[in-house]
Amino acid sequence: MCILYLAALNILLVSPFFKLIDLDASVSVENKENVGMKYSSACIPPEMLWENPEDKSIKVRSIENWTPAAGYDLLPASYSYDMWSFGCLLYLLCTGITLFPSSISDELVSEKDARELYEWTDDTKRDVLSRVTNASARNLVSLLLNKDPDLRPLSGHVLNHPFIRGRPLARQLGEKPKWDVYLSYREDCDSGHVSALYERLLEAGISVWWDKECLESDQRWETGFCAALLSSRCMVCLLSRLAINSPIEDKLNFEKLTSDSVCDNMLLEWRLGLELKERGILDGIFPVMIGDVDEKGVYSDYFKTGCHPVAPDLVIDDVEAQIHAHLDLDGLGSPYKERLTVKGIVTEILANQGGFYCGLVQDFMGKVVSSINEMVQDSNRALATAARKDSEICKLTRVRSTTVGW
């Protein structure tokens, strides 16, 4: 296969077929050829640039000007180069403007822009992405315009992206999540509740990810929870007074959070869960509202007895920074939902049908487990339906390819 400099790519319509022409800048990845013999500087990735230590100017790693004493190494051909170039093209199609001001031959026109491309910071990327109004397209552009070449998607990932497919289903055809349910809870407050729920869900034949049982011994929670959510069908969120409206510890009280508060892990889980549900990766969210329990084991009404906090309508910067970092690390690009407030996160979690711990355990536990199981089964049926539709589309495509010469 060859590297395609998309900025120089012309498409010629001939009869009902498209033909790719003007590929003279292409080089071989398999033969480990270097890029830089011909290029369009406004469409090359940051790693293609280097800084001249003598005059601090930004230059392209050009083959034509290279010698062993040139001061820079040449860049081997890589599919990641194509992905960046495609990102530039997609950005132009989505916004009507080029990533950087450029000449008619797609060359950078200012030293300032060359340096901005060379340095390519998170702030620059966020500013660029803010101009893409479609959330799905913005996410794909963010993946393609990743400064780290190793984090840019391969073509198969791009072709399966919801923006290209036109559908929110993010899982591959026939792919099933490893876990039916991911349990999100506050360990210091609700370990007893989550333990009992875990056992009852297992008895119902539901596969459950609970960090105490499923987090690998050598795995950090910060990476383990994200991988688990990505491999889960649904998320169950346990809400209680001590977990999110604590009268004792401010850090466990959502009402006391401020924009510069340290990232709350449970809020981060919810934030990621909402993001994955928006993309179709997570199928369902089930909040469990836990009232206060008295000495007789009777639980109060969660809302009527003031267990629920009045969440502030503000963004916690550290939560947003963490969500960007986790999504980027897992190759998921920018959030579909940007800068959700604490109030917004809590409101969206509660917008999903859930269950209550109210009254005696023997009265409510069976109902809660049954409702969670119903959510899982609905998800299972939806996945099977989507797989059948994909299969039908594939069959139709094969038929059309044999009749019209695709």
Q: What percent of the chain has pLDDT over 90?
A: 60
Cβ atoms of 269 and 222 closer than 8 Å: no
pLDDT at 8 over 60: no
Cβ atoms of 310 and 341 closer than 8 Å: no
The Cα–Cα gap between 109 and 117 comes to 12
Which residue ranges form the domains of the chain, and what is each CATH number? 6-165 (1.10.510.10), 179-379 (3.40.50.10140)
The Cα–Cα gap between 314 and 341 comes to 5
Q: What is the pLDDT of residues 215-237, one digit of tens each?
A: 887 778 777 888 899 899 999 99
pLDDT at residue 2, as a whole number: 42
pTM to 2 decimal places = 0.69
Q: What is the pLDDT of residues 62-119, one digit of tens each?
A: 898 888 888 899 999 999 999 999 999 999 999 999 999 999 888 999 999 999 999 9
Cβ atoms of 391 and 173 closer than 8 Å: yes
pLDDT at 185 over 80: yes
pLDDT at 336 over 90: no
Q: What is the pLDDT of residues 46-61, one digit of tens each?
A: 999 999 988 899 999 9
How far, in whole angstroms, is CA 286 from its chain's centroid?
Answer: 21
Q: Is 208 helix (H, G, I), strand (E, B) or coil?
A: strand
Contacts of 188 (CB under 8 A, 6+ apart): 242, 252
Q: Cβ of 217: how many Cβ atoms within 10 Å?
A: 4
Cβ atoms of 352 and 289 closer than 8 Å: no
pLDDT at 4 over 70: no
Alpha helices in 75-220 (DSSP H): 79-95, 111-119, 122-129, 135-144, 155-159, 162-165, 187-203, 211-214
Helix and strand numbers, DSSP H then E, in the chain: 14, 11
> Residues 195, 200, 204, 206: what is their CA dihedral angle, to the nearest 10 degrees?
-10
Average pLDDT value over all residues in the chain? 86
Mean pLDDT of 202-213: 95
Least confident of 8-22, 39-53, 68-82, 151-165: 8-22
pLDDT at 42 over 50: yes
The Cα–Cα gap between 34 and 85 comes to 16
The Cα–Cα gap between 185 and 60 comes to 51
pLDDT at residue 271, as a whole number: 96
